[in-house]
Amino acid sequence: MSRFAIAVHGGAGTILKSSMTSVLESQYLKGLEDALKSGYEILKKGGSSIDAVEAATISLENFPMFNSGKGSVFNHEGKHEMDASIMEGQFLDAGAISGVSGIKNPIALARLVMEKTEHVYLSGEGAINFAKKIGVKIEEEDYFFNEFRYQQWLDIKDSGAVKLDHSDKKFGTVGAVALDINGNLAAATSTGGMTNKQFGRVGDSSIIGAGTYANNKTCAISCTGHGELFIRSVVAYDISCLMEYKGLSLKEACDIVVHDKLVKIGGEGGLIAIDALGKIELPFNSEGMYRGFIDTQGILKCEIYK
C-alpha cells in the first residue's frame, strides 16, 4: 500500500474572524490551497517528500500575504532578513540559513546548503555569499516591497517596539510537512521574522530540532510561534522523542507539547505534524493558525480559526 500526504501552515497567532473580511479570508485560503497542490502534485507522481515540502514552501514564500519570502516584514533597518530550514527523515540530512536578504526563496537556499555543502547552517552575509557563489539570483529590495508591510514598519520603527507580524501576536512563518510513497518524511519552515526586529535576532524557524525536524521513525514537524519559547523547548524534536522513547502517538505527543508544555512556559503558537503512516495533526494554542492538508484519502481541507 502506498500512501502520501502533505500539510502546510502560514503562521499562528491572534487571528480573529471579527477583524477579517471574506475577501481576505478567501485570499488566505487560496494561498494555502495553492501551496498544498504544488506539493501534492509531486507526491502523486511518486516524487519525494523533500521535493514536495520545498515546492509547497516556495509557493507560500511567493504568496505576498504570509510573512516569508516576498511577504517578509521589515526589520529595524527597513530591510528584510529571512530564516529557513529543511530536513529529510531518511538520513536525517538538514540545511538551514538565517539572516539572509535578497533571496527570493530562502527554503531553496536552505536545501542547497543541505545538498551542496558539508555544512548544515549558514548565516548572514556568509550565507548570501554562498548563494551568489552557486549562482542563486539575488533580488533587488523592491521585489520584497509591500505597502502594507511598509506601513506596519513605519508605524513602529521609532518606537523600539518589535512586532511579531501584522497583529500584535501573529507569528509570521510558513512551513510544510509531507510523507511520500517511499515512506520518507520531510519538513520545511521559512520566515521573514519580526517587524522592526533588531540585533540579528534568530527565532526557531532556522533551528533544526526547534522549528523543524524530520525522522522516518517518528514524524516530520514545522513550527510557528513565539520563537524564543520554541527554541528553549526544542519543540519539534520533543514531539519526535515523545513518540520514539515514550511510545506515544503523534496526537498524544502534539497534545502534550502544544497544549501543556508550551502553555506552561508561555509559548504561544502551533505546528503541523505528519507521522510515518500519513496521519496529520495541526495543533495550536493561539486564536488561529493558517493551515491546511491533503490527507492520504486525497481530501483537501484549509482552515484559519479554532
Of 17-25, 114-122, 171-179, 290-298: span binding a copy of itself (CB under 8 A): 114-122
Judged by beta carbon, residue 99 or residue 288, the one nearer a copy of itself is 99
Other Cβ atoms within 10 Å of 105 Cβ, number: 24
Judged by beta carbon, residue 243 or residue 304, the one nearer a copy of itself is 243
Q: Is 119 near a copy of itself (CB under 8 A)?
A: yes
Cβ 129 to a copy of itself shortest distance, Å: 6
CA distance 257 to 263: 8
Binding mask 67-96 for a copy of itself (x = CB under 8 A): --------------------x----xxx--
CA distance 220 to 7: 10
CA distance 35 to 188: 13
Question: Per-residue b/e over 10-29, b at no fewer than 16 CB within 10 Å?
Answer: bbbbbbeeeeeeeeeeeebb
**Strand 185-191 and strand 170-171: pairing?**
unpaired
Q: Which grid coordinates belong to 173?
A: 512563518
φ and ψ at 270, to 5 degrees? -165, -170
φ and ψ at 203, to 5 degrees? -95, -160
Cβ 144 to a copy of itself shortest distance, Å: 19
Contacts (Cβ under 8 Å, ≥6 apart) of 174: 8, 9, 10, 11, 35, 57, 60, 61, 66, 67, 68, 69, 189, 190, 191, 224
Judged by beta carbon, residue 93 or residue 139, the one nearer a copy of itself is 93
For this structure, is 189 an active site residue? no
- Out of 84, 234, 258, 272, the residue judged to bind a copy of itself by CB under 8 A: 234
Q: Per the residue annotation, which of 14, 21, 173, 191 is the catalytic one?
A: 173
Contacts (Cβ under 8 Å, ≥6 apart) of 102: 128, 138, 139, 140, 141
Judged by beta carbon, residue 140 or residue 247, the one nearer a copy of itself is 247
- Out of 189, 196, 233, 285, the residue judged to bind a copy of itself by CB under 8 A: 233
Q: Is 118 near a copy of itself (CB under 8 A)?
A: yes
CA 244 to chain centre: 23
CA distance 73 to 179: 31
Q: Is 129 near a copy of itself (CB under 8 A)?
A: yes
Judged by beta carbon, residue 44 or residue 259, the one nearer a copy of itself is 259
Of 15-23, 46-54, 119-127, 216-224: span binding a copy of itself (CB under 8 A): 119-127
Binding mask 197-216 for a copy of itself (x = CB under 8 A): -xxxxxx---xxxx--x---
* Active-site amino acid positions: 173
Which residues make up the interface to a copy of itself (CB under 8 A)? 87, 92-94, 98-99, 117-127, 129-130, 162, 198-203, 207-210, 213, 227-228, 231-234, 237-238, 241-242, 245-246, 265
